[in-house]
Amino acid sequence: TNGLYIVPTPIGNLEDMTYRAVRILQEADIIAAEDTRQTMKLCNHFEIDTKLVSYHEHNKQVSGERLLEDLLSGKQVALVSDAGMPGISDPGSDLIRLAIAADIPVVVLPGANAALTALVASGLPTERFLYYGFLPRKKKERREALETLCYEQGTLIFYEAPHRLKEMLGGLLEILGDRQLTLARELTKRYEEYIRGSVTEALDWAEEDVRGEFVVIVEGTTEERPSEIQQEADPLDQIERYIA
């Protein structure tokens, strides 16, 4: 059946490809891939010979319109990114919106995702969490972004590149304080590792040569937001207090 299929791919371990993901990629008319060379390797491994087209951050407008035409003409399109769930710190959301606006069915397959894997492994609360993805690279913007998270009570999830990890942890310490955190390194791969402790301890650990892929999971705050904001926002409350 025609439609846009969102297909997650492994984040390091090829065995995390699902049976359904392989079948959908085989049956699709077109696979739209963030990096066709990367996806070609996956296709070779799973004996998939579906036509590949590129869909990434820099061609998503032109490529998206072309894919929409394909979808409208009844073709089945499968979207993959380099690793994990498309649309999560990866291209995908724009194409999904295009499809929804055109009344084309969107089918998302569940599968590998670094953020949720790390969150569950961290041992930090999972009832409420905030996925942030990558913080801004520039110091001032990163600081501002972190300031908006100071009073977030849910567990915080970040992605970070290895060569920026130390700087990012420095930012966490400065703005959020010395909270508990988990570094999830090289998930599902041979050197999978968890570093659990405080931000300061993680900074010590990051003194050495940092390599691999990381998810950073940080505990939320137990502090209430400063109350003057609430009082200003609730004039009725103030009147009641005045009457009493």
Footprint of ligand SAM (CB under 6 A) = 11-12, 81, 83-85, 88-90, 113-115, 159-161, 184, 186-189, 213-215
Q: How far is the CB of 54 from ligand SAM (least distance, A)?
A: 16
Taking the complex as a whole, the smallest distance from the CB of residue 161 to ligand SAM amounts, in Å, to 5
Q: Which is nearer to ligand SAM, 132 or 159 (CB)?
A: 159
Residue length of the chain:
244
Helix H or strand E segment including 216: strand 214-218
Closer residue to ligand SAM, CB minimum distance, 54 or 89: 89
Buried b (16+ CB within 10 A) or exposed e, 125-138: eeeebebbeebeee
> Strand ranges (DSSP E) for 67-198?
76-80, 106-108, 129-134, 155-160, 180-185, 193-198
Q: What's the N-to-C CA distance of the chain in angstroms? A: 67
Three-state DSSP state, 80: strand
As measured in angstroms, the least distance from the Cβ of 33 to ligand SAM is 13
Separation between Cα atoms, residue 222 and residue 131, nearest integer Å: 18
Say how far residue 139 (Cα) sits from the centre of its chain: 21
Cβ proximity to ligand SAM: between 6 and 67 the closer is 6
Least Å distance, CB 14 to ligand SAM, is 12
Minimal distance in Å, beta carbon 158 to ligand SAM? 8
Nearer to ligand SAM, 70 or 91 (CB): 91
Contacts of 19 (CB under 8 A, 6+ apart): none
- CB-nearer residue toward ligand SAM: 42 or 184: 184
Least distance from C-beta 56 to ligand SAM, angstroms? 11
Strand, coil or helix: 48: coil
Cβ proximity to ligand SAM: between 3 and 212 the closer is 212
Q: Which residue is nearest to ligand SAM (CB)?
A: 84
